[in-house]
Amino acid sequence: MTFIAEIAICTALVVGGVFMLVGSYGLVKLDAPMSRLHAPTKATTLGVGSLLLAAILYSFATGGGSLHETLIVTFLFVTAPVSAHFIAKVHIHRKHTRQELPDPPEDRVWATKDRPAGDGRNG
């Protein structure tokens, strides 16, 4: 393995580790439920992406060559926003939001708040 490859791999590892750490720290430090949601979506994008980049670089530098990792990144990038969206919907549904929701600019109501007419439950 050349010296340049080693530096590149180490940089990717450290960058990934730092962002994972910041993401986890944010999960603890932020206090509002909706703000807290920002931390994990961040850790997966750059943190995991960078760690997997290091894995790809290492496999090519040692001669094996592997692009498996791009699949992991792709699937994470596709699924992370969906799960974040669902968690956000739960927060809205259970009113774990500090601020009142603004009214939608065009339609009647936000989808999570929408309920069929005659449904007397509130909350």
Partner 1 sequence: MPRRLTRRIFPHPFLTLLLVVVWCLLINQLSAGTVVFGLILGTLVPILTAAYWPNRPRLGNPIKFALYVLVVIWDILVANVQVAIIVLFKRNAAMQPAWVPVPLDIRTPEAIAILAGTITLTPGTVSADLSAEGHALLVHALDAPDPDAVRDTIKHRYERRLKEIFE
Is 11 one of the binding residues for partner 1 (CB under 8 A)? no
Closest CB to partner 1 among residues 7, 104: 104
User: Least CB distance from residue 17 to partner 1, whole Å?
Assistant: 13
DSSP string, 25-40: HHHHH--SHHHHTHHH
Q: Does 117 bind partner 1 (CB under 8 A)?
A: no
Cβ proximity to partner 1: between 106 and 119 the closer is 106
Evaluate whether 10 touches 18 at the Cβ level (below 8 Å): no
* Spatial separation of the C-alpha atoms in residues 100 and 94, rounded to whole Å: 13
Q: Scanning residues 52 to 111, which ones bind partner 1 (CB under 8 A)?
A: 66-68, 70-71, 77-78, 80-82, 84-85, 88-89, 91-92, 98-99, 101-111
Torsion of CA 19, 24, 25, 29, to 10 degrees: 130
Q: Which residues of 41-51 are buried (b: 16+ CB within 10 A; e: fewer)?
A: ebbbbbbbbbb
Residue ranges that bind partner 1, judged by CB under 8 A: 18-19, 22, 25-26, 29-32, 34-35, 37-39, 41-42, 45-46, 49, 66-68, 70-71, 77-78, 80-82, 84-85, 88-89, 91-92, 98-99, 101-112, 114
